[in-house]
């Protein structure tokens, strides 16, 4: 009984750690994009941060799926993180989000 619970908890812990790294990359990309576009720091949430995180996850997933060469990799709890593809994807995602205009509530 304890083995299945342990396996599920270990999988959830690995996924949370990997997603934490992706969130850090996405947030860093959002900060860089806000500085590049001269936006105030309060304007990065939620649009730029979400774009950066989704871009980082997409970059890492596409690199794994298509077997793209990985120059800089490191492991987070035995899960590989392709740093170049994740960072590039997060910058691309945050850049695409920076091009979008935020919705303003009708007054």
> Which pLDDT tens digit goes with each residue over 11-68?
999 999 999 999 999 999 999 999 998 888 888 888 899 999 999 999 999 998 999 8
Q: Please give the model's pTM, rounded to 2 decimal places.
A: 0.85
CA angle 63–47–37, rounded 5-degree value: 90
* Alpha carbon distance 8, 60 (integer Å): 23
What are the domain boundaries of the chain? 2-99
64 and 82 Cβ atoms separated by less than 8 Å? yes
């Amino acid at each position: 009984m304890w083995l299945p619970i342990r396996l599920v908890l270990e999988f959830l812990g690995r996924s949370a750690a990997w997603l934490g790294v992706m969130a850090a990359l996405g947030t860093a990309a959002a900060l860089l994009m806000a500085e590049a576009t001269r936006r105030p720091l309060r304007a990065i949430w939620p649009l730029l941060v979400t774009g950066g995180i989704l871009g980082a996850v997409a970059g890492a997933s596409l690199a794994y799926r298509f077997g793209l060469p990985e120059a800089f990799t490191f492991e987070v709890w035995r899960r590989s993180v392709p740093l170049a593809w994740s960072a590039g994807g997060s910058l691309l995602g945050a850049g695409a989000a920076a091009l979008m205009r935020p919705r303003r509530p009708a007054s």
